[in-house]
Structure 1
């Protein structure tokens, strides 16, 4: 069962990053027959495989406790054991990056967790840095 309802470009989720410092929108679309999340941050548009919502929820449920976010740009390494590292790991359910636009595949742990919080499937911390999340 998917935790992700359809939301179009006309009715996106309006979200803020975990520290509350930046606002952005997300909506659901389809590209090349795949359901995707479209994340718009100012003029930058990122795409994530929509399966990430259910897959990340399953990972957090299995973890059973808080997991550090560890958000990082694609060009920077992700700290082991973080949501960001999982979102690009060959060990996750899709075998690699949930981010779909080369050069903009990172920051998974910055933009996806607030959407999951809005959907009511996780708890998310909102500190200035080093935030964590866990499944609800």
Structure 2
């Protein structure tokens, strides 16, 4: 039995940046594409797996703290945030990293803690307005 983290059998246990909610993520494949599966209670979100590498590269180029700015898909993302970048036509995939229509947002809430666990970023854990930066 594999003890490798990030699999369906052994997902990464994570907490939102304010440390108020627990959720899990793991890598999977859908339609031949590597994805991240994010399970928050009964809600399941999917993100393009490339987001980990692409976000890390963006953070390294940015070189400083950047606000997370998490928002639901139906709400606009604050300019200059991780959330805005995660849905911008200017990012490496030209749009949303979130893959499930209606649940494509919250990129700035759920991906940064995984980046922290993977040792790629530092994430603040304040009650709100958290930021992250590349390690």
Question: Aligned partners of 1:45 and 1:74: how far apart in 2?
Answer: 14
Question: Aligned partners of 1:97 and 1:20: how far apart in 2?
Answer: 25
Question: Aligned partners of 1:35 and 1:62: how far apart in 2?
Answer: 24
Q: TM-score, normalised by structure 2?
A: 0.96
Q: CA RMSD in A?
A: 1.0
Question: Aligned partners of 1:22 and 1:74: how far apart in 2?
Answer: 19
Partner of residue 34, structure 1:
33
Partner of residue 55, structure 1:
54
Q: TM-score, normalised by structure 1?
A: 0.95
Structure 1's consecutive aligned runs of 4 or more residues displaced over 4 angstroms after TM superposition are none
For these two proteins, the number of residue pairs brought into alignment is 132
Structure 1 residue runs without a partner (length 5+): none
- Contact 1:6–1:28, Cα closer than 8 Å, also in 2: no
- Contact 1:66–1:132, Cα closer than 8 Å, also in 2: yes
Residue 86 of structure 1, CA deviation: 0.1
